[in-house]
Amino acid sequence: MARQSLANYVKTEDWFTFTKQSFEFFQPYFEIDYPFKKYDQILVPDFNAGAMENVGAVTFNDSYISRGKKTQAQRMRLANVIAHELAHQWFGNLVTMNWWDDLWLNESFATYTANLALAENSEFTTAWENYYLGAKQWAYHTDQRPTTHAIQLPVNNTDEAFANFDGITYGKGGSVLKQLPYYLGKEEFRKGVNNYLKALSYDNSTLNDFINHLGKAADKDLNSWQQHWLYQAGLTTI
């Protein structure tokens, strides 16, 4: 849905193609059919964010509408945000983090799986190269500033939570999650995610719930990994 003054400029073929491809990837990946009764995508004037994953109705900033022909980079960005918000329908809506200190996990997981979906089930087979040049560089730059922080840190209120929408929350968190399928095994990681979603459907969860399900699926203790990668700020050095 879009306002009438911009409706003629919406490239519906792209929107429906990218959305269908995301559904085709996520439903078998999570082993859970889309959990809600409908799925709307609503382009909102003057929306104060890129997009937001309300249950069954994602709101998008209408800057995603181009009056002219989109570049390939713009099309990839649109495909990415569609996949990102759809991933949240499972990871974020079907299972919701209990408190803002796990906001990074909610966003980083959608960031990681959106790029995975693009790389494996879309025309954008260079999604990971694009991720490295964009989100990961953002993470590196943010992590070298005096204002950097650990990925996981205490959050006392919503003001603190929104101050942490940065390169650590999205870029570094997504990069750290990308390690886990290599460390645990791709299928073990996927199975851990599936078990987590099934065990906590329509419930609240914590980082430890997620980590414990991954570790159990791969038969590995992730405590040391968790302490090194999630609770320390700054770039790793040799």
Active site residues: 85
- What letter does residue 172 receive in the DSSP assignment? I
Spatial distance between the Cα atoms of 49 and 28, rounded to a whole number of angstroms: 29
Residue closest to 114 by CA, chosen among 165, 61, 53, 163: 53
Cα pseudo-dihedral 124, 27, 41, 158, rounded to 10: -100
- Asked whether the beta carbons of 34 and 23 are under 8 A apart, the reply is yes
Beta strand 57-61 with 95-97 is: unpaired
Residue type (1 letter), 169: T
Query: What is the number of alpha carbons within 13 Å of residue 141 lying toward its C-beta?
Result: 10
Q: Which two tokens stand for residue 114?
A: 């959106």
**DSSP-derived 3-state class of residue 214:** helix
Spatial distance between the Cα atoms of 231 and 130, rounded to a whole number of angstroms: 27
- Asked whether the beta carbons of 168 and 232 are under 8 A apart, the reply is no
- Asked whether the beta carbons of 38 and 23 are under 8 A apart, the reply is no
